[in-house]
Chain A
């Protein structure tokens, strides 16, 4: 399972990449595999204020709908519009073209509470 070392992770299988005072969020390789073929992504709205742990997006496969939680608190500053027409990017490139949204961090200290790659691999039992 692909778990890049430079990202932080949540127990609910989101990844987060810190880019200055913003953070980019997506779902992990493990999550996309569990979801199966993604056919629809419901994205948050730019400007939404979200609290860490709040449900902010829904990724739907043929099989089921999965809630996506904000790893940290902040304001949504961008969403991946490409997913509207190409939701399968979540499967083919979960850490790249399949990103979901970016948010401006409210409390950068929250990032320290997320898991690093080693801890996330342990969670997956690897």
Chain B
């Protein structure tokens, strides 16, 4: 068990490799109750969210969601999150556990007339069911009482005694669902999912597998790959930034970077051959000079090779560029790769 954003959470249940392979080949369930749930509602909710988030919330139909960023005025990342449009005038923001207090304080300090903000993180639990067999498990679990939401959609399911929000989202690169519901129901739902998935090869999955799965997909982790000193443009996340919007916090810096280019970019790399696994904060060399340090690193259980990410000076941030990673004083060759590192 480790402390994670103030939560005491398991790194693994049966083993990181076993859990990782279960999600890639069958199905796994993650306890994501640590994630924050912030509800935003009111007639001005959409306009206001468009002022504080980078993506364009107007693109969402009710029941749809998007990945988006909360930025500081310098364009640095406060948090990355999923914004769900639950219904007309009502939104759910699912934010990182370690950033709940900072996000809510920031949002409160920028609140506008006609917008209500409710931080209900303590009330809600969440489970992520991920893997190629997640859809089969969904049908078993809900017994045909509700159809599966489409990818990036969210549905409301009113069970006998409580409401469950069901989203077709995740952080693994596999098909899957995320369920959000009142915390008191968490043990029952967790047990039921594990039982109904037992013959599908289900595994309960911890933080270790969550990290290896997301890194193979090059999904950034806030606090490692994202920070207040890097913009989403530098992080290679322009797709989730709508510079057509007339204004949002951080926009001017991002527009400037779009026009003039960035000096460094977050790119994935793969080690060449058998090496110790790279980890965060390892130095990166090019032509004998230290040019960067890794922001994430691990051994990819799927590829069987070391992988990671780093902000590399733009002149070297090209696919197939060769770099060296310093591991305990020895340099090992690696190449810069295209995202994602794992493809089906």
Contact = CB atoms under 8 A, between A and B. Distances in A.
Decide if A and B are genuine partners: yes
Given A36-B15, A37-B17, A62 B279 contact: no
A62 B17 contact: yes
Contact of B276 (A58, A62, A63): A58
A36 B328 contact: no
A54 interface: no
Interface residues of A, number: 13
B276 A37 contact: no
B212 A62 contact: yes
Contacts of B301: 62
Nearest to B299: A39
B328 A62 contact: no
A42 interface: yes
B277 A37 contact: no
B11 A36 contact: yes
B238 interface: no
A40 interface: yes
A124 to B, nearest CB: 16
A60 interface: yes
A4 to B, nearest CB: 23
B11 A63 contact: yes
Q: Is the interface of B mostly helix, strand, loop or mixed?
A: loop
A19 to B, nearest CB: 29
B299 A65 contact: no
Given A58-B328, A62-B208, A63-B208, A36 B277 contact: no
Given A65-B276, A65-B279, A40 B16 contact: no
Nearest to B304: A39
A8 B193 CA distance: 45
Interface in B16-37: 16-18
A39 B15 contact: no
Given A62-B301, A63-B11, A63-B16, A39 B277 contact: yes
Interface in A23-39: 36-37, 39
Most buried by B among A36, A58, A62, A84: A62
Given A62-B17, A62-B212, A62-B298, A36 B276 contact: no
B12 interface: yes
Given A36-B16, A40-B299, A60 B276 contact: yes
A64 B11 CA distance: 11
A63 B16 CA distance: 8
A39 B208 CA distance: 14
A62 to B, nearest CB: 4
Nearest to B279: A65
B208 A36 contact: yes
Nearest to B2: A63
Interface of B: 11-12, 15-18, 208, 212, 274-277, 279, 298-299, 301, 328
